[in-house]
């Protein structure tokens, strides 16, 4: 049952300055819920003024004690090394007993999700700690974020008309982070989602080339996709991206060639509204691909 929104107990959002957490904060505020946001750097957090900002570091468990006091549930984004996770999750379970965890679809038997991946190992480890802690949990497993395209291609599209990238025909079903956040907020607010384990994707299968075409159409520009070989991509990212991350992505993309991307209906099942399309995401994020005066 949803706890009455007038309840004074806040929801603690970790990763609140990140891509998903910031949107979870917005969703909770829109639902009228009190929000406490965790950050290591409150002076740089730039969160709405009605949010209670708490300072804490996931790698130093005792710094979380104040943030965890009196909270009703925690949205947990674990981007830190694993070492402190047992002590942190034990504290969360003891103080709130309710955790909504952002993870990934590493259990899904699709080649894209079954390549060697250090992050998948970390997610599996955190999930086990949450399960063993006895906390009432919900696991949210989004596939590729739509906003990854901004991180990957923003500079190339701002500065030119060609996206140089490997595996033009590798498919994903990119998910709009607003949908991830909406599912997370719904899970935090309504105990009907206790025990839920949700693989979330966008509504449509799109190749890399399709995604570039959609961004180009949205911007009203011609943008070419020039396919790089995996070795060209390694050279292209050398000194900029960690080699382990490059190999992880190349393995996942390579394995997905010729495989239809996984598409689930979980977002629309849970929210009762269709998942946002990549076209919608691109239309709402043109600034990511446009020079301020360009």
How many other CB atoms sit within 10 Å of the CB of residue 33? 22
In DSSP terms, which residues pair with 100 in a beta bridge? 75, 138
Instruction: Using the minimum distance from each CB to ligand NAP, give the nearer residue, 43 or 272.
Output: 43
Instruction: Note whether 21 binds ligand NAP by CB under 6 A.
Output: yes
- Given 3, 9, 19, 29, the residue binding ligand NAP (CB under 6 A): 19
Sign of CA dihedral 204, 250, 213, 293: positive
Query: Which stretch, 51-59, 157-165, 189-197, 271-279, contacts ligand NAP (CB under 6 A)?
Result: 51-59
Instruction: Using the minimum distance from each CB to ligand NAP, give the nearer residue, 7 or 69.
Output: 69
Q: How far is CA 226 from the centre of its chain?
A: 27
Instruction: Note whether 118 binds ligand NAP by CB under 6 A.
Output: no
Q: How far is the CB of 231 from ligand NAP (least distance, A)?
A: 24
Instruction: Note whether 248 binds ligand NAP by CB under 6 A.
Output: no
- Given 10, 11, 12, 20, the residue binding ligand NAP (CB under 6 A): 20
Q: How far is the CB of 37 from ligand NAP (least distance, A)?
A: 9
Instruction: Using the minimum distance from each CB to ligand NAP, give the nearer residue, 20 or 212.
Output: 20
- Given 10, 61, 142, 166, the residue binding ligand NAP (CB under 6 A): 142
Instruction: Using the minimum distance from each CB to ligand NAP, give the nearer residue, 118 or 221.
Output: 118
Instruction: Note whether 18 binds ligand NAP by CB under 6 A.
Output: yes
- Given 102, 157, 181, 270, the residue binding ligand NAP (CB under 6 A): 102
Instruction: Using the minimum distance from each CB to ligand NAP, give the nearer residue, 162 or 254.
Output: 254
Instruction: Note whether 79 binds ligand NAP by CB under 6 A.
Output: yes
Instruction: Note whether 150 binds ligand NAP by CB under 6 A.
Output: no
Binding site for ligand NAP (CB under 6 A): 14-21, 38-41, 45, 57-59, 77-80, 102, 104, 119, 142, 144-145, 148
């Amino acid at each position: 049952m949803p706890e009455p929104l007038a309840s004074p107990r806040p929801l603690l959002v970790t990763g609140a300055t990140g891509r998903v957490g910031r949107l979870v904060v917005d969703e909770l505020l829109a639902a009228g819920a009190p929000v406490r946001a965790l950050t290591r750097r409150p002076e740089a957090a730039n969160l709405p003024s009605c949010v209670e900002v708490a300072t804490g570091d996931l790698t130093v468990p005792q710094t979380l004690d104040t943030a965890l006091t009196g909270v009703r549930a925690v949205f947990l984004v674990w981007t830190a090394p694993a070492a402190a996770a047992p002590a942190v999750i034990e504290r969360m379970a003891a103080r709130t007993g309710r955790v909504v965890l952002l993870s990934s679809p590493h259990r899904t038997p699709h080649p894209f999700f079954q390549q060697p991946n250090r992050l998948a190992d970390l997610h599996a480890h955190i999930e086990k700690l949450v399960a063993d802690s006895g906390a009432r949990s919900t696991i949210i497993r989004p596939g590729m974020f739509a906003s990854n395209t901004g991180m990957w291609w923003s500079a190339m599209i701002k500065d030119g008309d060609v996206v140089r990238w490997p595996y033009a025909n590798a498919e994903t079903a990119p998910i709009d982070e607003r949908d991830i956040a909406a599912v997370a907020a719904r899970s935090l607010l309504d105990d009907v989602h206790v025990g839920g384990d949700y693989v979330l994707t966008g509504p449509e299968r799109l190749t890399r080339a399709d995604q570039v075409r959609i961004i180009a159409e949205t911007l009203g520009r011609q943008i070419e996709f020039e396919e790089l070989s995996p070795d060209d991509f390694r050279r292209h990212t050398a000194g900029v991206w960690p080699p382990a991350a490059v190999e992880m992505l190349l393995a996942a993309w390579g394995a997905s060639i010729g495989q239809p991307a996984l598409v689930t209906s979980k977002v629309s099942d849970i929210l009762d509204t269709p998942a946002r399309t990549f076209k919608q995401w691109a239309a709402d994020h043109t600034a990511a691909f446009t020079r301020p005066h360009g």
